Amino acid sequence: MVRDEQLSSDGLATIDEAVRAEWPTGEAATVDDAIAFHEGLPPSKEFATVLESATEPLLQPRAGVARLDEQIELLTYLEETGEADLLPTTIDSYTRDNEYGKARTGLEKTRESDADALNGFPAVNHGVDGCRTLVESVDGPIEVRHGTPDARLLAAVTLAGGFQSFEGGPISYNIPYTKRGDLATTIEHWQYVDRLAGVYTERGVRINREPFGPLTGTLVPPSIAIAIMIVEGLLAATQGVRSLTLGYGQVGNVVQDVAALRALRALGEEYLPNEVCVTTVFHEWMGGFPPDEARANGVIGLGALTAAIARPDKVITKSPQEFQGVPTKEANAAGLRTTRQLLDMAMEQRLDIDGVESEQDLIERETRSLLEAVFEHGEGDVARGAVRAFETGALDVPFAPSESAKGACLPARDDDGRVRLFDFGDLAFDDEIKEIHAARLERRAETEDRSTSFHMVADDVDAISNGRLIGRPS
Ligand SMILES: CCC[C@H]1O[C@@H](n2cnc3c(N)ncnc32)[C@H](O)[C@@H]1O
């Protein structure tokens, strides 16, 4: 049974040798060789330094293309024309599934033609030298963004390649991302990733880790996202990670989003060890976008306004082409500038909004209840507790494809668009919390002259792409 214990150096070495043998480029991905490269980077390329010393929210897009020369061109454009403060490298789907052979084929096809045969940067195929060329060719610090349940080789190659920030975690890249992945196995895989980040940190290269807060990206109740962020943060801290960015995906109600971001920071600082520097990241709306680009910019703008009030350390921006999929570099840069405009205009204003404090109290109370359930299920061991809490449904994620989660809870928006739970499944909430949610959903039912039902959930899923926040009956 998996346990929340730091990997021993022998244990790390054994796994490291096996992982780096999975693909030829793994051979060069050693910490010893990489430290000198990292030490040669200027402070402006140290991801944790730049993020943790910022005085205003930093903007970061997602971006990844197959070819190295085109990734350099893309990131340079996003820096210069998008004014991005932090850079991404979004990894392709084959690499995320550990299909490095298919990624190689896709990269070869892309080199022979103009069409991108991959939907991201195949960092394992590019190898340590390719990653280092990318890191050296742009000005800003770069984060690896992906969605990989078994990210061990990807971490070994990209961290050796000079990246200093790595997204994801054993729950946030399992439950929303894969059907079959056994959670205990994923936790073990990510203990290697986090121990590797810990070893770099102990050797003087602070690696920033960013658990993926949005989860399924569709109406995720804030307390569920925050509880999972803190569990992944605790697991990473055990392995020696000292720079953690906890994430949260915008739901679209400004009161709830501001309250959630404040709760995320407060609870992250409370539950994580003092030696960990905790930052927060706000993801602009992760659900369906309106196809109309003007309306899409409205969604982006609301996210930016929310960030101006809540002031997370980082904002992951969206583009007006979100509905179509992977954006052009121009649209990606435009999403950054739209966000920048709203932030710069709104941050100089004092915007006091009613209801944030009571919403934050409720979110924190719910989050503590979920975390207590994890601690109890594991008898103090967070890894074991996470696995068992998902088995019983005490911890759960709506619409989760993973067999490791029950997916028994159902969210719906209340009468002003805050995300509540319509069906609690087996979530570890007391009756009073459940009554608060039920009462707020009942108020919507009265407004809409219909009973609280699954139809509300279904109507809410597409509401924003249809131009609204709440899925009112037509
Ligand atoms: C969980 C992440 C979903 C978001 O991730 C964006 N995304 C995916 N792949 C790329 C890429 N290669 N370049 C720029 N954005 C990308 C999608 O648009 C969506 O918003």
The secondary structure of 325-362 as a DSSP string is: SSPPHHHHHHHHHHHHHHHHHHTTS----TTHHHHHHH
Coil, helix or strand for 10?
A: helix
Q: Is 148 exposed, middle or buried (0-12, 13-18, 19+ CB in 10 A)?
A: buried
State whether the Cα torsion 175-179-184-189 is positive or negative: negative
Predicted confidence band of residue 139 (pLDDT cuts 50, 70, 90): very high
Coil, helix or strand for 186?
A: helix
331 CA distance to ligand 1 centroid (A)?
Answer: 12
Give the model's pLDDT for residue 40.
97
Provide the mean pLDDT of the chain.
97
Which residue puts its alpha carbon closest to atom 5 of ligand 1?
Answer: 62
27 CA distance to ligand 1 centroid (A)?
Answer: 29
* Ligand 1 atom closest to the CA of 120, numbered from 1: 12
Is the pLDDT at 474 greater than 90? The verdict is: no
CA distances from 250 to 43, 104, 193, 411 (A): 31, 35, 27, 15
Q: Is 326 in the pocket of ligand 1 (CB under 6 A)?
A: yes
Predicted confidence band of residue 103 (pLDDT cuts 50, 70, 90): very high
The Cα diameter of the chain in Å comes to 66
272 CA distance to ligand 1 centroid (A)?
Answer: 29
pLDDT tens digits, 320-375: 999 999 999 999 999 999 999 999 999 999 898 999 999 999 999 999 999 999 99
Query: What one-letter code names the amino acid at 77?
Result: Y
Burial readout 156-193 (b: 16 or more C-beta within 10 A, e: otherwise): bbbbbbbbbbbbbbbbbbbbbbbeebbbbbbbbbbbbb
Q: How, if at all, do strands 208-210 and 419-423 pair? A: unpaired
Give the Cβ contact number of residue 277 at 10 Å. 16
pLDDT tens digits, 252-311: 999 999 999 999 999 999 999 999 999 999 999 999 999 999 999 999 999 999 999 999
Q: Select from 94, 318, 326 the residue to mutate for testing ligand 1; criterion: most ligand atoms less than 8 Å from CB.
A: 326
Dist. CA 430–CA 452, nearest whole Å: 20
pTM reported for the whole predicted model: 0.98
* Ligand 1 atom closest to the CA of 332, numbered from 1: 14
Dist. CA 396–CA 373, nearest whole Å: 12
Closest CA to 165 of 141, 146, 147, 129: 141
CA distances from 240 to 53, 202, 406 (A): 21, 8, 31
Q: Is 62 in the pocket of ligand 1 (CB under 6 A)?
A: yes
Predicted confidence band of residue 380 (pLDDT cuts 50, 70, 90): very high
Residue 421, token pair as written in the block: 């739970």
Which residue puts its alpha carbon closest to atom 3 of ligand 1?
Answer: 286
* Ligand 1 atom closest to the CA of 121, numbered from 1: 12
Q: Is 92 in the pocket of ligand 1 (CB under 6 A)?
A: no
167 CA distance to ligand 1 centroid (A)?
Answer: 13
pLDDT tens digits, 196-232: 999 999 999 999 999 999 999 999 999 999 999 999 9
Residue 353, token pair as written in the block: 């909004």
Residue 167, token pair as written in the block: 């997204």
319 CA distance to ligand 1 centroid (A)?
Answer: 10
User: What's the half-sphere exposure (Cβ side, CA atoms, 13 Å) at 367?
Assistant: 29
* Cα 113 off chain centre by: 33
309 CA distance to ligand 1 centroid (A)?
Answer: 26
CA distances from 423 to 28, 117, 216, 408, 417 (A): 50, 41, 17, 8, 17
Give the model's pLDDT for residue 98.
98
DSSP alpha helices (H): ranges in 40-138? 47-52, 68-80, 93-96, 100-112, 123-137
Q: What is the dihedral of CA 335, 123, 143, 168, to 10 degrees?
A: 100
State whether the Cα torsion 98-396-221-190 is positive or negative: negative
Q: Is 331 in the pocket of ligand 1 (CB under 6 A)?
A: no
Mean pLDDT value across residues 47-51: 98
Q: Select from 62, 289, 300 the residue to mutate for testing ligand 1; criterion: most ligand atoms less than 8 Å from CB.
A: 62
- Give the whole-number percent of the chain exceeding pLDDT 70: 100
Q: Give the catalytic positions in this structure.
A: 96, 167
* Ligand 1 atom closest to the CA of 145, numbered from 1: 2
Q: Is 93 in the pocket of ligand 1 (CB under 6 A)?
A: no
Q: Is 90 in the pocket of ligand 1 (CB under 6 A)?
A: yes
Q: Is 64 in the pocket of ligand 1 (CB under 6 A)?
A: yes
Coil, helix or strand for 421?
A: strand
Q: Is 284 in the pocket of ligand 1 (CB under 6 A)?
A: no
Q: Is 120 in the pocket of ligand 1 (CB under 6 A)?
A: yes
156 CA distance to ligand 1 centroid (A)?
Answer: 23
User: What's the half-sphere exposure (Cβ side, CA atoms, 13 Å) at 169?
Assistant: 29
Is the pLDDT at 96 greater than 90? The verdict is: yes
Would the ipTM clear 0.90, i.e. be above it? yes
* Ligand 1 atom closest to the CA of 212, numbered from 1: 1
Is the pLDDT at 115 greater than 90? The verdict is: no
